[in-house]
Amino acid sequence: MAEGPKQTFREMSKYTYKVQEALKSISSGKSQCFYYPGCGNDFIYPLQHFSDKCDTFVFCDWKVGDRNSFLKKIRTIPDVTICDDRSLPVIDDLKELANMEDILAMFFPQIPSNLRQFVGNPALKEGQFVELKIGNAEKIIQVFWLAMEGVNIYWRLFASHRIAPLILCIKKDWGINCDNGWTRFEDCWGHLAAVARDSACEPEWLVTRENKHNWPWTQIVDRFDDWDDRPVIMWGRQRPTP
CA pair distance 232, 224, nearest whole angstrom: 5
- What's residue 128's pLDDT? 86
**More confident site: 2 or 23:** 23
Q: How confident is the model at residue 57 (pLDDT cuts 50, 70, 90)?
A: very high
Residue pair 185/170 in contact by the 8 Å Cβ criterion: yes
- What's residue 59's pLDDT? 94
Residues 6 or more apart whose CB falls under 8 angstroms from that of 150 comprise: 37, 38, 60, 61, 62, 174, 183, 185, 192
CA pair distance 95, 118, nearest whole angstrom: 16
Ranges assigned E (strand) in the chain: 33-37, 56-60, 80-82, 127-134, 140-146, 167-169, 205-209, 219-224, 232-236
CA pair distance 214, 206, nearest whole angstrom: 11
* Averaged pLDDT for residues 134-146: 84
**What phi and psi values does residue 86 have, to the nearest 5 degrees?**
-115, -145
- What's residue 180's pLDDT? 45
**More confident site: 115 or 50:** 50
**What phi and psi values does residue 96 have, to the nearest 5 degrees?**
-70, -40
- What's residue 110's pLDDT? 72
**More confident site: 3 or 25:** 25
* Averaged pLDDT for residues 33-45: 91
CA pair distance 213, 128, nearest whole angstrom: 30
Residues 6 or more apart whose CB falls under 8 angstroms from that of 54 comprise: 31, 32, 33, 34, 141, 166, 167
CA pair distance 174, 62, nearest whole angstrom: 11
* Averaged pLDDT for residues 49-76: 87
* Averaged pLDDT for residues 162-188: 74
In this prediction the pTM is 0.84
**Does the structure show a pLDDT above 60 at 8?**
no
pLDDT tens readout for residues 70-126: 888 888 888 888 877 665 666 666 667 767 767 777 666 677 676 666 666 655 567
**What phi and psi values does residue 83 have, to the nearest 5 degrees?**
-70, 135
Average pLDDT over the chain, rounded to whole?
Answer: 80
**Does the structure show a pLDDT above 50 at 5?**
no
Name the residue type at position 86: R
Q: Where exactly are the structural domains of the chain?
A: 5-236
Residues 6 or more apart whose CB falls under 8 angstroms from that of 100 comprise: 119, 120, 149, 152
- What's residue 193's pLDDT? 87
User: What percent of the chain has a predicted confidence (pLDDT) above 70?
Assistant: 75
- What's residue 142's pLDDT? 93
pLDDT tens readout for residues 204-220: 999 998 888 888 888 99
CA atoms within 13 A of residue 97's CA, in its CB half-sphere: 24
CA pair distance 58, 102, nearest whole angstrom: 21
